[in-house]
Structure 1
């Protein structure tokens, strides 16, 4: 049985949206899961999960693809932000690599080009927390691009908490709650005591005040 009900999430999200109104840009809605009894340096703290939000991100993300021949052609046709070949990678300067890293939310890389991507783009992607995602040459590129446009990363960094975007402020509280429940389900499965390791749940917009969810 879930620790938090859908109704309790919707109520907290509605308050967070109200408190965050008035900005001149579309804000993200973030969920903060505060953990208890978790050593961030231990095995239990090594959480890094890719989660596709059922109701979408609420904004367009940029998916970039590294591949050759047919893969590159399909990626362009599917709307990839940037498509690079092995030849493109070999000619990249550090300045160009940083520019590309800044433009891409996700970087999908054909498996056999991962090493080259790591050498050329890796130094620019690493500090931004954008690890390349390996994909097979036979991958369904249109489906993958669509999937990653709605995918978030739930991870523990240097504090016992997980902060993850669950959508945008112009989405309905109900849809945001559905996304939050999807993320919570994955996180609970990774925790040693499941929901018992969740001390607090908070929602906020990018520039808004935090609102705690009451059980």
Structure 2
């Protein structure tokens, strides 16, 4: 079915008292994940955002993070920080200590921070944060499947459709053999079944 028909069915399926997230599920084929070169961790910026902003942690002197503060955080605090935020930005000068104290909690989740060059202005840093808030992470390591949020049921159909197509183009550009490695594509709400869709790019 078409993307918009799937969205219609999602909205009609047992209305909930909360705003459901619309999720895109893509199954892959003919990809050997035993080979490290086929494992993918990548961030994709959605043109219309996720409907709900991703949580971004700014590890910077601007937000009160110093080398000393990071070094004095205990294991519980570090784990909570890694779990609470989806994306991280860090001052370039703090990257060595971030890697030392937070690396083992972030690396396995594909959440290592993006460095902030010291020459960036405050406006440029705000732009970096805004892009992260609209981003989703592709993580293909052990299972040949990707599942990411592409909006909420309150967003317009054309916005969600644009997000889906933009994400798929980025995914295709990353896969070694492109379209031939895409198996099936589904859309689902938080509490709905998954609906198989056909997408023309």
Q: Fold match, TM over 0.5?
A: yes
1:38-81 per-position Cα deviation (integer Å, ceiling 9, x unaligned):
1122256322221111011101322111123xxx1xxx5xxxxx
Change (3 A) 1:127 1:155: closer
Q: Which residue of 1 aligns with 2:162?
A: 178
Q: Which residue of 2 aligns with 1:4?
A: none
1:211 positional shift: 0.4
Mean alpha-carbon deviation: is it higher for 41-50 or for 58-67?
41-50
C-alpha distance in 2 between matches for 1:106 and 1:197: 28
Q: Does 1:12 align with 2:3?
A: no
Q: Does 1:88 align with 2:88?
A: no
C-alpha distance in 2 between matches for 1:131 and 1:195: 29
C-alpha distance in 2 between matches for 1:36 and 1:123: 30
1:154 positional shift: 1.6
Query: Secondary structure of 2:88's partner?
Result: strand
Q: Does 1:151 align with 2:109?
A: no
C-alpha distance in 1 between matches for 2:101 and 2:176: 38
Q: Structure 1 unaligned runs (5+)?
A: 1-6, 77-82
Query: Secondary structure of 1:207's partner?
Result: coil
Q: Which residue of 2 aligns with 1:3?
A: none
C-alpha distance in 2 between matches for 1:24 and 1:119: 43
Mean alpha-carbon deviation: is it higher for 144-153 or for 94-103?
94-103
Q: Does 1:100 align with 2:93?
A: no
Spell out the pairing of 1:169-208 with structure 2 (5 A cutoff).
169-208=153-192
Are the equivalent residues in 1 in contact too, given 2:116–2:125 (CA < 8 A)?
Answer: no
Are the equivalent residues in 1 in contact too, given 2:38–2:176 (CA < 8 A)?
Answer: no
138, 144, 149: which one aligns with 1:165: 149
Q: Structure 2 unaligned runs (5+)?
A: none
C-alpha distance in 1 between matches for 2:65 and 2:153: 33
C-alpha distance in 1 between matches for 2:182 and 2:54: 29
